[in-house]
Structures are given as C-alpha cells and as structure tokens.
Structure 1
Amino acid sequence: MGLRANPTQRQRRLGEELRKLREASGLSATEAGAHAGLGRAHMSHIETGRTAIPEEKLRALAKAYGCTSHPLVEGLCEMSRATGRGWWSAYKDSHNARALDLAELEAGAAAHRSFQWMYVPGLLQTADYMRCLFEGGQPDGPGAIAKYAEFRQRRQQVLTDGQPLHAIVHEAALLMKFVPDDVMRRQIEHLVKVAELPHVRIQLLPFKADINSATPGTPFTILDSRVPELSTVYVEHPVSSVFLGDREHLDQYDSAFEHLSAAALPPIALRGERESHTKRDSLQLIQHLLYTL
C-alpha cells in the first residue's frame, strides 16, 4: 500500500494522538513499534497520518503506552476504521482539502458549538444568503457559485440528523450589508424557525454585551467528540483556516465559548417557552432587527 500524499485531518489527528501517547509513555518509536511488529519508519508514517494502522496493532500500541482509558482507545479505533468516504467525496475537484475535512468532521461530531461575528454560521444559512455571499466573493462563474452553495447545504444535513448545535451569533452579523434586506429578512426568519428544533440553541451577542479583550477575534467552531480528548476546534481565517486538537487549545476555546454564552442574550425561544416577557432575550433582538429592515 502506497503512502498518502495528502492525509486528511482525521488521519493526521489519529497519528498525532498516537504520537502523544507514545511520548507520554517515554518509549521511542523503535521501542513502541516492537510491541506491535512495526518498524521505526512505519511508526513515523503512522504518526504523520501517511499510512493506516490495523486495529489490532493500534490496540497493541495503546497497551504498550499504558493507556487505560477505554473510551479513548475505542475512539482511536473508530478513527482508524473510518474510510473517509462520504457525500463530500464527490466535491474533491471543486473544494479544497480543508472544506472536505470540515465536512467529514462535522458529520462525525457528537455536537457543534460555534461563534460568528460577521456572518450567519454556515449550518444556519439560507440558500439565498449563501449564494449572495459567494457572489460577493467572486468565485469562478455561476457554476462555481451553485457548487459551493450545494456543498454548504449538504453540510446542513447534520441538523436534519439531529446533531446538537449551539450557535452564538454577534448582532453585527445580522446588520452587515453583504446581502439585500429581503434576503437578510428571510435569513433572520429562518434562524427563528431552526431555533424551534429541540437540538438547536441560538443566542445573539449584542453590541453592548459584557465581554473582554481576550475574547477570540476570529470565528470558531468546536466539534465535540463523544471522547472529549478527540474534540476539534476549527478556527476560520480568510487565508488559511486551522484545526486545533491540543488539550491546551481545547480548554482555551471551551472557556471562551462558555464566557460568550454567559454574555450573550438568552436563546431564541417561542413565547410559550420564554422565562419572561420583560427580560431581554435573543428573540426580542431578532424582532427589533426585523422591524428595522
């Protein structure tokens, strides 16, 4: 079997986690490989995600590393068994590797938590809203716009599948003039409709929210895994977005999200579910924004 020229994020992450376990055990690559019948070069390729590792050899390595966390070992085995072939595979000629990696990670996530301050989160965008954004980005013609919109709409399947989503959206995102007012109106109304789903929680962060300068200035999404150690943070950047999986980064963004959620207004909810008609909440801000359009 040839080596992978461009490992996916899942494949790289599996290798990174195995390397971290090995280093924590104090074993060299050669010593660790001996426990699973793997040479040093093979171990290097596994730890960089350039080649697969059979499940029995993965379990042998975990045992040699003294890993006693059954959920972690099972999570790693699940990652090794995954083929990576999903609906996103059909878009490999039109989308970059990071977009495909994001779609794969979203599909396998146990829950999604995101913060956006300039745009409505992709999983909550209407077709008209996303097409307007893509037109503004000037992709290569109408065919590309349709392909990008189709891809983003297919990503939204995770909501249909019932995966929990908690989105914090800054008020600024609903005031930006990237799209015509009628498109924004329908987009805002869509947020209210989606918020009725029992597994969706949407909070608005008003301009007057009490937040500090340490708040992340870039949008991010926490893709929660059933095994906390295997969660991933996706940090958006116009040049090169990144995936983070180190414990330090996971803790940092977990803390930031908790702070943002505490500072944001109570989530959008139907009137019958609201705690009080006098308390400021996300639905009241939504209604105000709709009135001003």
Structure 2
Amino acid sequence: MSHIETGRTAIPEEKLRALADVYGCTSHTLIDGLCEMGRATGRGWWSAYKATHDARAFDLAELEAGAAAHRSFQWMYVPGLLQTTDYMRCLFEGSQPNSPDVVDSAVEFRRRRQQVLLEGSQRFHAVIHEAALLMQFVPADVMRRQIEHLVKAAELPHVRIQLLPFKADLDSAATPGAPFSILDSRVPELSTVHVEHPVSSVFLGDREHLAQYNAAFEHLSAVALSPIARRGEHECYTKRDSLQLIQHLLYVL
C-alpha cells in the first residue's frame, strides 16, 4: 500500500474501486478522481529535470499542471508563476552564486512551470504583500520591470492579483507565517496546500489543513486591496486599490 500511495506502484482501476468499497468510500466523484489519477503516468515535461531538481519541484509542477485553480500568498517574493526571467535569475544567482549551470536550469524549469498560466486553463489568484515589492533582493530596474509585468499579467481574464499593504487589518492568529499555495482540484477532496520553507517545503491534503488554509486565504483576500484593474476597468482614482499602490511603488523605486 505504501508503494501505491507514493506513486511507485500502479493500481488497476478495478482494484482501486474495490478498495474504496472496502474502506466505505461512497463519493463517486472522489473515486472517479482517484481512478483518473491512477491512469495518469505522472510523466510530464518535468520528468526531463530529474537529474537536476528535487522531487518536490516535480510534485509542485505536476499539481500545477492538473489544478483547476491556483491561489497563492507571498510576502517576501513575487509568486513564481508571475516572475520575470530577470527577477528569477537574480534570486537564483543569490542562492547559487558560483553555479551558472544550476541557475540556468532553475530559470528554465520555472519558465516551463509558467506555461500553465499562459495556457489559461485554470484560474489564478495571488495575494502579494507590499513588502515583496520593496525587498532589495534584485536591482531597482529589475523590480520595476517585474512590477510592470504584474500589471500586464492582471489583464489576463483568468488572473486576479491583489496587493496586501502594510496597513492592512490582519488577524495574526488567522495569518500563516509562511507563504503558501492552494492547488484546487476539480475534485475538492484531492486539493493540496503547498507550504513553502527554505529547507523543505510541505504538501498538505487532509481536510483540516485544507479548511485552515482556505479560511486563511479568504481572510487575506478580504483585507487586501481590490485587484489590479484590467485595462479599461479602472474608472475611479479616489478609491485606494492595488493599481494605485503599484503606481506609487513604481514612483519611489
């Protein structure tokens, strides 16, 4: 069973349905979703990077590729799927200063991950703390282009980007201390939370954690500024919103 659970051993659909029956699972939607996962080979474009990347990077890429929606909260960095090439290269060079090949591979892998956003097959909602756009991890000109890229990305109909200002009315008890992403599955029970950590990121899929992080994201979205308006939609300049904060940050950079 452990080999099946970790994906090292396949399980025929009839056996999976029999096990579900034995365990008392009555949700046909969940069982069908599990069967669909069982039929998948798990071999996508990310398989070509096995020699150079950690297994967790493959898991994240696979989850992103199959998600129906992607919700992300970041407070120190721009979310990976929204990063420009120059921005991500600066970050990787800072962590791998003497390994240009490693940096090139990391940049290429992240750019491949971004294709799922360009395809428009899933909804993407990001809440980004104002601090992430003020951090001096990258040169000012790189950050300026990165911020301009956020405005352009927000024009995509399936992308929603909100900024969380320093003055937001946050509830510390309801706000996770680490950045996280919620990969929403078409079958809710198969959704996954990815919690980022510099040493070892964590994937959570039990009902309690899903409820906790869903509530946290709803809270962050509620107290964040209204989304960066798509072109032609920003009619009022008297109301403080994400676009106004973007314009201010571009001015002070």
TM range (shorter): over 0.9
Amino acid at match of 1:198: P
Q: Which runs of 5+ in 2 are unaligned?
A: none
CA shift digits 1:33-70 (9 cap, x unpaired):
xxxxxxxxxx4543454422111111122223332211
- Of 225, 249, 252, which aligns to 1:265? 225
2:96 is matched with 138
Find the aligned partners of 1:71 and 1:275 in 2 and give their Cα distance: 43
Identical counterparts, % of pairs: 82
CA shift digits 1:239-283 (9 cap, x unpaired):
110000010000000000000000100000136313632111000
Shift in Å at residue 216 of structure 1? Answer: 0.5
* 2:192 is the counterpart of 1:232: yes
* 2:35 is the counterpart of 1:69: no
2:132 is matched with 173
1:280 is matched with 240
**Does the residue aligned with 1:118 lie in a helix, a strand or coil?**
coil
* Alignment check: 8 A CA contact 2:75 2:128 kept: yes
**Does the residue aligned with 2:41 lie in a helix, a strand or coil?**
coil
Distance 1:140 1:60, change over 3 A: farther
- Measured on the aligned residues, the alpha-carbon RMSD in Å equals 1.3
Residues matched between the structures, number: 251
Find the aligned partners of 1:87 and 1:47 in 2 and give their Cα distance: 22
- Of 96, 109, 112, which aligns to 2:70? 112
Find the aligned partners of 2:160 and 2:86 in 1 and give their Cα distance: 22
Shift in Å at residue 143 of structure 1? Answer: 1.3
TM-score of the two chains, using structure 2 as the length reference? 0.96
CA shift digits 1:193-229 (9 cap, x unpaired):
0000000000000000000212101000000000111
Distance 1:44 1:123, change over 3 A: closer
2:148 is matched with 189
Distance 1:240 1:288, change over 3 A: same
**Does the residue aligned with 1:166 lie in a helix, a strand or coil?**
strand
Rg larger in structure: 1
- Of 142, 159, 164, which aligns to 1:200? 159
**Does the residue aligned with 1:257 lie in a helix, a strand or coil?**
helix
2:52 is matched with 94
Amino acid at match of 1:206: P
2:170 is matched with 211
2:61 is matched with 103
Find the aligned partners of 1:258 and 1:275 in 2 and give their Cα distance: 26
Find the aligned partners of 2:118 and 2:207 in 1 and give their Cα distance: 30
Amino acid at match of 1:133: L
Amino acid at match of 2:186: R
CA shift digits 1:78-133 (9 cap, x unpaired):
11111011100000011010011111111011110000000000000000000000
1:38 is matched with none
1:9 is matched with none
Distance 1:84 1:290, change over 3 A: same
Find the aligned partners of 1:154 and 1:220 in 2 and give their Cα distance: 20
**Does the residue aligned with 1:273 lie in a helix, a strand or coil?**
coil
Distance 1:104 1:48, change over 3 A: closer
**Does the residue aligned with 1:104 lie in a helix, a strand or coil?**
helix
**Does the residue aligned with 1:272 lie in a helix, a strand or coil?**
coil
Find the aligned partners of 1:44 and 1:182 in 2 and give their Cα distance: 49
Find the aligned partners of 2:230 and 2:184 in 1 and give their Cα distance: 27
Find the aligned partners of 1:140 and 1:98 in 2 and give their Cα distance: 23
Q: Which runs of 5+ in 1 are unaligned?
A: 1-42
1:37 is matched with none
* 2:10 is the counterpart of 1:52: yes
